[in-house]
Structure formats: structure tokens, C-alpha cells
Amino acid sequence: MSTRKTSTPPGSTRSPRARRAKTPADAAAPAVVAPPQAEDLLRDPSLYLNRELSQLDFNFRVLAQAQDATIPLLERLRFLCISCTNLDEFFEIRAATVRHAQDFDVPLAPDGLSPVTVLRRIHERTAELVDAQYACWNEVLRPALADAGIRVLARETWNARQRRWLRAYFREEILPVLSPLGLDPAHPFPKILNKSLNLVVVLRGRDAFGRSGHLAIVRAPRSLPRIIRLPQRVSGGEHDFVFLSAMLSEFVEDLFPGMAVRGAYQFRVTRNSELIVDEDEVENLALALRDELVGRGYLRAMRLEIAADCPEPIVRELLRNFDLPDNAVYRINGPVNLNRVIQVYNEADRPELKFPPFQPRQLAGSDAMFERLAAGDVLLHHPFDAFTPVLELLKQAAADPGVLAIKQTLYRTGRDSPIVEHLVQAARNGKDVTVVVELRARFDEEANLGLADRLQDAGVQVVYGVVGYKTHAKMLLVVRREGRRLRRYVHMGTGNYHSGTARAYTDLSLMTADPDVGSDVHQIFQQISGLAPAIRLERLLQSPFTLHGGVLERIEREARLAAAGRPARIIAKMNALNEPQVVRALYAASQAGVRIDLVVRGACTLRPGVPGVSDNIRVRSIVGRFLEHTRVYWFGNDGAPETWCASADWLERNLLRRVETCFPILDPAIAARVYREALQTYLDDNTNAWELQADGSYVQVSPVDGELPHSAQSALLAGICG
């Protein structure tokens, strides 16, 4: 058993290995006294953590990777950028959801915290995270990168030659596309695009029309690079970069000839980005989404980031303009768009400062996928197993004269996806191709609209899913004539049909020719594309019909087994957990004596380790090189275990308001592999694991004396990729 180090707050000088990501808001919750086993007492708000604060806390665990000196330097920079982009998305979606709940008096979550309280705690916790991010950049990573020959040059460090080149670059490449706007009665405060880089400039003097200068706004168009690389002949270094924001601040006076610039302060506003379309009221979902996308960048403001030295009167004016409270401003000691430094990671050709490359394992027999699957089920564990067999199945189906029909769901695909090429080719080859395109995949709406148009132009039948329910299921069905019968081949997965994320996310793919699974998948496609009634499936569980009940039934079965003194065990891995009925069922199972291990990457509202309630439950989060994305549910079932993989987390939205699939692993050898690779090795991890405490904080796990370090991801890389 590994020890758990109590870690220190962000900014501590102690080793990152002993760092603790603690949520003061949740830590301040009253101590939980073991309640009676009555169901009603399991609804006690003190038994539940707040989802938004729990999700926010995940970014401290990501930032801990950036602070970890054992990780390659450029990878640490990448983790810093991930924590920044995650925080952007958190305010765009999760914090915006809380603001919506406040405005419309939405019923309280099981934790009982009011939206006002949650927003206040979000801003308090975010202030800690932002301070830690910029301390990591300014005090740790930027100096370490400079020592390694990768310099991000601050304005005060530019020498005369660098300054001449940068000024010339500014005048030739940047100034012509800028349109500064003076603020006066004829020029009110302009609309500021979500997450765009801006400067507020303080001016003195008079312009060409005799107007007195006061304030101006300079907006940086998104066409401009946010990081500029200096030529080696100018900078003297092979990898020298400058932030666009630094150049704007340094040369902004060129935009206001004849006037004096008294100050220039960069700022950025983050806005609500959740698109809301009343699907019951629209006749054309695609058209309605296109209309909504036009205004997405100008929805309600949620956060203001501004230079630390900006005068208070200007800050107050910006807060007033954006209708933000005082605690929604974050004074930044550095570039307000720190996540843009990811360009340095992409451009610096320094492989020794990155994770070693790996080659995913290739599936033997993938050149004849139908014969391979006819011989038995295939499991792929991405990114350790290559995603190419999935592409091969579709490619071969598109060309095979025996294939009559192809049906597929698409949620996220990426640009220039080979999957889309194969679907288009299949339609051109006369196959009946039906694709369910989920237009409401967050931040991919525009890409999916373009994808749908292209597929339709090629003759593919495109379906936009079910009104009121996102289609989040990951399914591919190929119907092939073999002699006198039709045979169905199926791919189902826990992740998206996206070749890029298949190399960066951990996910499981099951490929099978099992007749019952094929029949179930076929019927689900009929449900989505037609108006079929709810159908009894032979093998699969499906949201919003049977998955929620199926999970509860299996948790309750383990509780009954434990109460009867029989072996009972639950292990589940997912991205997030908040569904209150599932949480209560897990509490009841723990009270009955079931040992429960949950590997939950992000938000978890279940409070483990509460005496008499959840003392048999352990929750851990794994943060490593790859984004943990696998969903696996394992139930001991008195020695006859059931292994399930799914597209769904145990969230309210996934279990109750989405179209999701959960599929059993029927082959015993494959089930044993899923248990070993997707569950047990993560329970054994003592280097990248963080354990959730009863007070809502996370403590990083470390090896005990004499125990060998074990990283689940490293072990899988070594064991599968060789």
C-alpha cells in the first residue's frame, strides 16, 4: 500500500511530489457524522462536494505536472498551457452555468450551496490557481527554458539589435492590421471578442482633429500570431521568441502619432460560450446553430484578466462595462494569454526536452478486417494500440462489394479526418451510408456543420440526432453480405472518432461481429434516425433508457451480496461523477460492506472516507502524459464479474439526457485484459495518482519505503508499445 503525502499549497518551496491541491471551500464544510442507513440521510448536503469546485480543482493537479522537475521541460510547459486553457473553458462553460442558475433560480445541487456562494468560491480558488500559474511561469519554467537555450524575451531584456528588428516587424506586419479606437461620445466602448487580446491605452495631447486624448482600445486581430520567433541572426539564439502583447505594449505609440502614451495595459475578457437553442421551437437545428454561432464570441462576460499595474479607475471602468463584480478581475503578472506560449512547445525542435516518441502497437491481420473480426472480438487500448484498425475497417468497408450499408455516429472528428474521406468514398461507391452528426458537440459546432454539409453533398444521409438529447454514443456499424446471409460488424468505443485524440487520450475500442451486439447497435441507429419506440436490447445498456437503471441495479446487487456475506466489489473508471442517485447507491453499498474503488479524472461530488457512510470507498485521479478518458465499470458479482465499457460518465447529463451506449466485454480473455490494463494498473499507480480526501482536497500518492514507483501509463507504454 502506498503512502499519501500531505502536500503544501501552491507556491510552496517544497517538492512538487508533496504538493496538495486543496479546495478551501469544500474543506470548510461541516464535519460529517456517520448517519443512520436511512436513504433520506444519504441526501445530507454535507455528504456532497460541489461539482464546479471539484472540476476547478482538477487544474491544480494538471499544474502540478508543470511543477514536477522529473518531467521533460517542454512537457512541463505544455501542462502549464493545458491548465490555462482548461481554466478558460471552465469559465466559458461551468462558471457560466452557475451564473445561469443564479439568474433563473435553478434548484440547488445536492451539496446545497447557493450559486452566489459557488461563484464566490470559484473566484477565490481561481485567484490561487492564477497566482500559481504565473509563479510557475515567471519563477520556474521561463528561467529553466532560458537555461536550456529557449528564450521568451521580456521587453526589458531586448538589446538594440533585437529592438530594431522588432520595431520594423511591428511596422510592417502588425501596425497595418490594427485599428485603434479612441473612446469619446462618438466612439463608445467597442464590443470585445471572447478571449481576444486587447490593450487599453492612456493618452495625453490632441489628435489631428484637435480632440483631446484620454483612453483608446487596441484590439489584436486573431490573424496575428501571438508569439513571434526572432531570426537567429538577429537574436543570437536558435529558439528566441517574443509575445505579441509585449510588442504591442512597447510600440503602441506608433499608433498615436503626436500624442503621448502614458500607459498601455493588456486585458482579456472570458465570456459565456454555451450555445442555447430551444430545439422544440426551431424547425432547422443546423440553421439555428449557425445563427447562434455568429454571436457566441459576445455573450455574457464571466472573467476579466488585466495587467497587474493597470490603474484602479481603469479596472473599475472595465468591470462596469463588462457588468462584472469586483472579484471577477484577475491582475496578471505576465501575458494575459499565457496559454499561447504553447507555440514555443510546437516550434522548439528539442526532442530531448519532450516525452520520448512511441509507436503504437499495430493489429495483426488488419489488412483483412472482416476475416479478423469473424475470428473473434478485438480490443484496442488507445493510444498504446494504434487507431488504424478502426480506419481500416471503414476503408475496407467502403471498397468491399459485399458491404451494403454503413452507419456511424460522429461527435468530434478533427480536421481532414480520414474517416470522413472513407464515408464519402463509400457513398460514391453506392453503399447506403447514414451518419449521425452531433451538431451540439461543444466548441466543434462550426466544424460539425461543415462536416454535415460535406457528407450530404456526397450523398450521405445525415441525421442530427434526437431533439433534447445529445448523441454522445460512439458506434460504427457495417452490414455485409456473406453468401446467403447478412452479417453485422461493429466498432464501439469510449472515445471519439478522432485520430488526433487517439494518440493523446486513453480510450478503449471494441470491434466485434457478435450477432446480438450487432442487432442492438442496428436498433439504436433506427431509434436515432427514425421514430422507433424504446426497444429491449439484448446486450447493451443505453441512455436515456436503461443505462442509469442498469448501473443502479448492479451497484445495489453488490450491496445485497455484501450484506449476505458474499464477495462484493465495484471498480469504475470515468472522467466525472455527480449523478446523485448513483452517489447514494454507492454510499449504501459502502455501508453494506462493498469495497469500492473509483478512478475519476475530474469532478467528483462523492465524498469518500466518511465514517459510517463512505469509509469503504476510495477515489483517485490519475494525471499523466495522456488524458485519461476511458470509461470502464466492473462489478464483482459474487465471483462472476461483469465488465462494461461506455461512452458515458456517471453524470446526470450522460445518464439521463444523452444518447449513450454501454457495452459488455463478453470474451473472458478480453475482459481480463480490460481489468488488468484499464483498472488494476491504475489502482497500483503510486506516481501519478491523487487521492480524494473526505474534506474535498486531493493528496498525491507516493511510494512507501522500499516500494518501487509505478506509473500506469508508463507501464502500458512499456508493455504494449514495447
Query: 237-240, long-range: CB within 8 Å, 24+ apart, which pairs?
Result: 237/149, 237/151, 238/149, 239/149, 239/150, 239/151, 239/344, 239/347, 239/348, 239/349, 239/350, 240/151, 240/153
Range with the lowest mean pLDDT among 37-41, 89-93, 544-548, 601-605? 37-41
Distances in Å between the alpha carbon of 525 and those of 48, 321, 391, 439, 509?
Answer: 37, 48, 20, 17, 19
601 annotated binding-site participant: yes
Q: What is the DSSP string of 549-563?
A: HHHHHHHHHHHHHHH
Give residue 209's pLDDT: 54
Distances in Å between the alpha carbon of 713 and those of 180, 626, 685, 686, 687?
Answer: 49, 8, 9, 11, 10
1 pLDDT more than 60: no
Q: What percent of the chain is modeled with pLDDT above 90?
A: 76
Q: Which three cell numbers stand for residue 494?
A: 469510449
* Locus of grid cell 479612441: 182
Q: What is the DSSP letter of 107?
A: P
442 annotated binding-site participant: yes
Average pLDDT over all residues of the chain: 89
pTM of the model: 0.90
676 pLDDT more than 90: yes
629 annotated binding-site participant: yes
Query: 532-537, long-range: CB within 8 Å, 24+ apart, which pairs?
Result: none
State the catalytic residues.
Answer: 472
Query: CA nearest 688: which of 506, 429, 480?
Result: 506
Helix (H, G, I), strand (E, B) or coil at 110: coil
> How far is it, in rounded angstroms, from Cα 94 to Cα 82?
17
Give residue 30's pLDDT: 36
Confidence bin at 472 (pLDDT 50/70/90) = very high
138 pLDDT more than 60: yes
3 pLDDT more than 60: no
Over the Cα atoms of the chain, what is R_g?
A: 27
Confidence bin at 15 (pLDDT 50/70/90) = very low
What is the number of other CB atoms lying within 10 angstroms of the CB of residue 204? Answer: 12
Q: Which three cell numbers stand for residue 379?
A: 480490443
Find all residues with CB under 8 Å of 527, minimum gap 6, and list them. Answer: 466, 534, 535
Range with the lowest mean pLDDT among 210-219, 264-273, 384-393? 210-219
Which phi and psi (to 5°) does residue 224 adopt? Answer: -85, 140
For the chain, helix (H) and strand (E) counts, in that order, are 23, 29
Distances in Å between the alpha carbon of 373 and those of 378, 418, 579?
Answer: 7, 21, 36
Q: How confident is the model over 164-168, as a mean pLDDT?
A: 97
Whether the Cβ atoms of residue 703 and residue 719 lie closer than 8 Å to each other: no
Query: For 569-615, what is each residue's pLDDT tens digit?
Result: 999 999 999 999 999 999 999 999 999 999 999 999 999 999 999 99
Give residue 308's pLDDT: 96
564 pLDDT more than 70: yes
Confidence bin at 404 (pLDDT 50/70/90) = very high
161 annotated binding-site participant: no
Q: How confident is the model over 41-60, as a mean pLDDT?
A: 97
86 annotated binding-site participant: yes
214 annotated binding-site participant: no
Give residue 722's pLDDT: 80
Query: For 300-355, what is each residue's pLDDT tens digit?
Result: 999 999 999 999 999 999 999 999 999 999 999 999 999 999 999 999 999 999 99
Confidence bin at 33 (pLDDT 50/70/90) = very low
List the beta bridge partners of residue 305: 268, 330
274 pLDDT more than 80: no
213 pLDDT more than 80: no
> How far is it, in rounded angstroms, from Cα 584 to Cα 551?
12
Confidence bin at 282 (pLDDT 50/70/90) = very low
Give residue 24's pLDDT: 35
Confidence bin at 190 (pLDDT 50/70/90) = confident
